[in-house]
Structure 1
C-alpha cells in the first residue's frame, strides 16, 4: 500500500502537460467562486491569524508581500471522486490542519498568505494517465481563476507563489503560463515549487526568463527540493526516475538533473549543510491538532544527483514513505528555514524596488 502511494505521488509529480477533461467518468464538483471567502483556506487582509508553532517568528503585521499558496493532494476519496469538492467540510479540515497549518504557515512572518480551496485531483485520479490528466486539468483551471482573484486583491504588490506536490505542479504551470516573461514576473519575489521534479534544463526551455535561485536573497527566481532519507534511498534509481520526464521531452542531456536547492543554505554554492544549520523543524507526522514546538538543529541535508538527502533526528518522529521518501515532510523539516528565507527575499525585493 505504501509503495502504491509513493508511485501515485511521483506519477503526479512527473506527469506531462494536462489539458483534456474528457473521459474522467465521474461527477464534477461545482466550480468554486473565488469572490466568496469560504473558498479560501486563508484569505489574509490583516496578517496571519491562526496559531503558529512555539519558536516561530511573529507574523508580519503590515506585510508588503503576498503569498499565493497551493496545497498538495489532500483527499484519498473513498467514494470515487476524482476531484476534491471545495464544499467538503471534512476534506477542508484535513487540508487546513495537514497542509495549511504545517506548510503555508511558514510564510506568515514575511507575507499576507492567500491559499485557495480548489478542486484538487484526488488519489483516485492517479490510477491511470488519462484520468489523472483530466483531473489535474480541472484543478488547474481553478488555480488560474483563484490567481486572478488574488491579483485583483493585491494590486501591484509583490508576491510569492508557493506550493507542494500537486500544488507545486500547478504552481509550475502557473509560472510557465502566466508569469514567466510577462509583466507579472517583475512583481514576483520568488517561487517555492517544492516536491516535484523540475529539471535544471527546464530553465531556458520550459521557462524562458525565470532562473533557479542561486543565492539566499536573490529575487524573481525559483526554488525546488525533494527530500529522501539517507541510507534508505537508492539515489541512482530515484534520480533516474526523477529525470525521466525531462529525458522523454528533451533528450538525454546534462539538463536532466533535477533542480535541488538546499533549504538549509539556499545557496547553490553550498549544497551540503550539517544539522547545526537547521533553524527549526516541525515534529510529528501531518495530522489533526496544533503543531508541536519547533526543534532546531534536528536535520542535516545535502543535494546529491538532484535529490535532497536528509538525516532527521529520530526524536522528530517523522515517518518516511517506502524507499525512504520524505515527501510529506518536504516543508515541515525546514519550516523555520523557509520562514526566515522568505522574510529575507521579501526584504531584498523591497530594498531593490526603492
Structure 2
C-alpha cells in the first residue's frame, strides 16, 4: 500500500538514506508537535461558510494524519519542527481536511517526520517506516488523551497510508477495534483483496452508517486513462500476492458512502471547497457542484468549472480528494458517530 501522490513522484534523492542522519524524533508530550490536539484544535477549528457547525461537546475523537507537505529532493524525512512546512501543513491540510471532522470529534493531528517526495529505491520504504514509527508513538499519546472514547482514524495520501497501516498493525483483531467508528484512508491504493489478507477483521464500509470499517477513494477526471491508471494502482497488490482476484483498488463513493450506489449525480453533493488548497480562509462551500462514480477502482469525478480546480497531470484530482466532498465527509462522520453511540446505549 502506498499513497497515490507518492507514486507520482519522480525526483531522486541524492543522499542515500543510510548516509543521512534523520531529524530528531518528535516529543508528543509537547504541544509543539501537534497541529491539533492536547493544546487545542489549531487550524482544525475552521468551519467554512455553508458547513454545519462544529460540535460544542464532541462525543468522539479523530486521529488525523496529514498528507505529504514536505517538498524536497535533498532530505528523506522532514524535521517535525520545521516551521515553514508546518505552517503550510496547517493551511493546506489541517484547516481544509481535518476540520471536516470537527462536527463530530475532537481533532488530534500529530506532526511527524513525514517522508519527502521520493525516488523509487529502498530508501523510500525506510523513510516511510521512520514516519510510521512517529505515528505509532503519537497514537499511544492520543489513546491516553482519548480515555476510552470512540474514535475515527483519517488521513490523506501519505497520511492515508499511515492510518491504513495503523489499522493493520494496531487495530485489526484487537480490543481497540470495538471503539473504531470508521477509517477514512483517502487518496491511496488499498486493494479490495487486502481485506481478509493484510487487514483480516476490519471490513470495507458497505453502508453509510456502518461502523468499525474502512473507506477509500482516489478522485480523477473523466479524461483520465483509467486502464493505465488501474494497471499502475494494482501493481503493488500483484507484486505482493501474485493473484488477480482482489487486485481492484477500493473505491467507496463519498457522495453516497454506499457500495450498492457507486454512482451519484451532482444533486447528491452537499458542498465542495472551491479553489486550490492553500493559505488563507476556506472559501464558502459550493453545493451540488460535483458528480462522481466508481469505475475500475477510481472515483471518476465531474466538478463544476465554477470550483476552479486544477488537476494534476493525467487528470488526477488528488489534491482535492477531501475538498470535493468536504460536506459529505462531514455529514458521514457525524452519521457514523451517532450510529456507534446508538448501538451502545
Distance 2:176 2:184 in 1: 16
Task: Structure 1 unaligned segments of length 5 or more: list them.
Answer: 1-7, 16-21
Distance 1:204 1:89 in 2: 41
For the 8 Å contact 1:216–1:341, the answer to whether it is kept is: yes
SS of the equivalent of 1:93 reads: helix
1:314-334 CA-partner distances (Å, limit 9, x unpaired): 111110000001110000000
Structure 1 residue 63 and structure 2 residue 97: aligned?
A: no
For the 8 Å contact 1:29–1:119, the answer to whether it is kept is: yes
Query: How large is the RMSD of aligned CA atoms in angstroms?
Result: 1.8
**Comparing 160-169 with 242-251, which one deviates more in the overlay?**
242-251
Q: TM-score, normalised by structure 2?
A: 0.94
TM superposition shift of 1:345? 0.2
Correspondence for 2:12: none
Q: Aligned to 1:211, which of 197, 203, 209?
A: 203
Distance 1:14 1:182 in 2: 34
Structure 1 residue 117 and structure 2 residue 111: aligned?
A: yes
Correspondence for 1:251: 242
Q: TM-score, normalised by structure 1?
A: 0.92
TM superposition shift of 1:128? 3.0
1:55-94 to 2 correspondence within 5 Å? 55-77=50-72, 80-94=74-88
SS of the equivalent of 1:255 reads: coil
TM superposition shift of 1:252? 3.2
For the 8 Å contact 2:31–2:39, the answer to whether it is kept is: no
Correspondence for 2:163: 171
Distance 1:9 1:136 in 2: 11
TM superposition shift of 1:107? 0.3
The alpha-carbon distance between structure 1 residues 14 and 159, as it changes in their structure 2 partners (threshold 3 A), is: farther
Distance 1:14 1:144 in 2: 26
SS of the equivalent of 2:96 reads: coil
For the 8 Å contact 2:27–2:33, the answer to whether it is kept is: yes
Structure 1 residue 35 and structure 2 residue 26: aligned?
A: no
Matched residues, number: 337
Task: Structure 2 unaligned segments of length 5 or more: list them.
Answer: 10-15
